[in-house]
Amino acid sequence: MNPKRAIKKVAVIGAGIAGLSCARALQSSGISVDIFEKSRGPSGRMSTRRTEDWSADHGAQYFTARDPRFIQELQDWIQAGTADTWSPKLKVYEANAWRDSDSQEARYVGTPNMSSPGKYLTENLSIQYERTITRLESRDGEWALRCSETGEIATLYDFVVLALPAPQVSALAGDLDPQLAYVTGLAQMKACWTMMAHFPKQLSEEFDAAFVNQEIISWVCQNNSKPMRQGKLVWTIHGNPSWSQENIELNKEEAQTQMLACLRSMGFDCQDSEISMHRWRYASGGLNNPIQFLLLPNVNLGLCGDWLNGGKVEGAWLSGLELASEINNGYKN
Ligand SMILES: Cc1cc2nc3c(=O)[nH]c(=O)nc-3n(C[C@H](O)[C@H](O)[C@H](O)COP(=O)(O)OP(=O)(O)OC[C@H]3O[C@@H](n4cnc5c(N)ncnc54)[C@H](O)[C@@H]3O)c2cc1C
Strand partners, 264: none
| Residue whose CA lies nearest to ligand 1 atom number 33 | 14
Q: Which atom from ligand 1 is nearest to the alpha carbon of 131? A: 43
Residue 240 Cα to ligand 1 midpoint, Å, equals 17
Q: Give the pLDDT confidence score for residue 207 in this predicted structure.
A: 93
Find the 205 Cα to ligand 1 centroid distance in Å: 31
Please count the residues of the chain.
Answer: 333
Give the distance (Å) from ligand 1 centre to CA of residue 306.
8
Contact 136, 1 (CB under 8 A): no
**Per-residue pLDDT tens digits for 75-85:** 999 999 999 99
Spatial contact of 302 and 293, defined as CB atoms under 8 Å apart? yes
Count CB neighbours of 267 within 10 A: 12
Residue 133 has a pLDDT of 98
- Distance, CA of 306 to chain centre: 8
Distance of CA 75 to the CA centre of its chain: 20
Q: How do residues 37-77 score in pLDDT, each as one tens digit? A: 999 999 999 999 998 889 999 999 999 999 999 999 999 99
Ligand 1 atom, smallest distance to 319 CA: 26
- For the whole prediction, is pTM greater than 0.95? yes
321 within 8 A of 54, measured Cβ to Cβ: no
Taking the centre of ligand 1 as the mean of its atom positions, its distance from the CA of residue 29, in whole angstroms, is: 25
**pLDDT tens track for 10-24:** 999 999 999 999 999
Centre of ligand 1 to C-alpha 290, Å, is 17
The span from the CA of 44 to the CA of 16, in Å, is 4
- Give the integer Cα–Cα distance in Å for 261 and 239: 12
Our separate counts of H helices and E strands in the chain read: 8, 20
Bridge partner residues of 299 (DSSP):
none
- CA-to-CA distance for 117 and 18, rounded, in angstroms? 12
Nearest-atom number in ligand 1 for the CA of 147 is 42
SS3 211: strand
Instruction: Please name the residues in contact with 54: beta carbons below 8 A apart, sequence gap of 6 or more.
Output: 196, 198, 223, 231, 232, 234
Three-state secondary structure call for residue 38: coil
pLDDT of 97 strictly over 60 = yes
Residue type, 215: E
Tell me the β-bridge partners of 303: 162, 294
Q: Atom 5 (ligand 1): residue with closest C-alpha? A: 60
Q: What is the pLDDT of residue 330?
A: 73
**Side-by-side strand order, sheet with 142-147:** 133-139, 142-147, 151-152
Residue 5 pLDDT > 80? no
Rounded Cα distance, 139 and 17, in Å = 29
> Would the pLDDT of 292 be above 80?
yes
Q: Kindly report the average pLDDT of the chain as a whole number.
A: 95
Question: According to the model, what pLDDT value does residue 58 have?
Answer: 96
User: What SS3 state is found at 185?
Assistant: helix
What CATH superfamily classification does 9-331 receive? FAD/NAD(P)-binding domain (3.50.50.60)
Q: Which of 306, 308, 317 to mutate to test the pocket of ligand 1 (most atoms within 8 A of CB)?
A: 306
* Cα 191 to ligand 1 centroid, rounded to whole Å: 12
Domain boundaries, the chain: 9-331
**226 Cα–ligand 1 center, Å:** 20
Longest dimension (CA), the chain: 65
Residue 196 has pLDDT above 50, yes or no: yes
Q: Is the predicted pLDDT of residue 205 greater than 80, yes or no?
A: no
The alpha carbon of 36 and the centre of ligand 1 are apart by a number of angstroms equal to 15
Label residue 1 by pLDDT band (50, 70, 90): very low
Residue 6 banded pLDDT, cuts 50, 70, 90: confident
What was the pLDDT predicted at 2? Answer: 46
**Contact assessment for residue 295 and residue 324, using Cβ atoms and an 8 Å cutoff:** no
Please give the number of the atom of ligand 1 that sits closest to the Cα of 134: 41
Ligand 1 binding residues, C-beta < 6 A: 13-19, 36-39, 44-46, 59-63, 132-133, 163-165, 168, 172, 192, 194, 238, 280, 283-284, 305-306, 311-313, 316
User: Of all helices (H) and strands (E), which one includes residue 301?
Assistant: strand 301-303
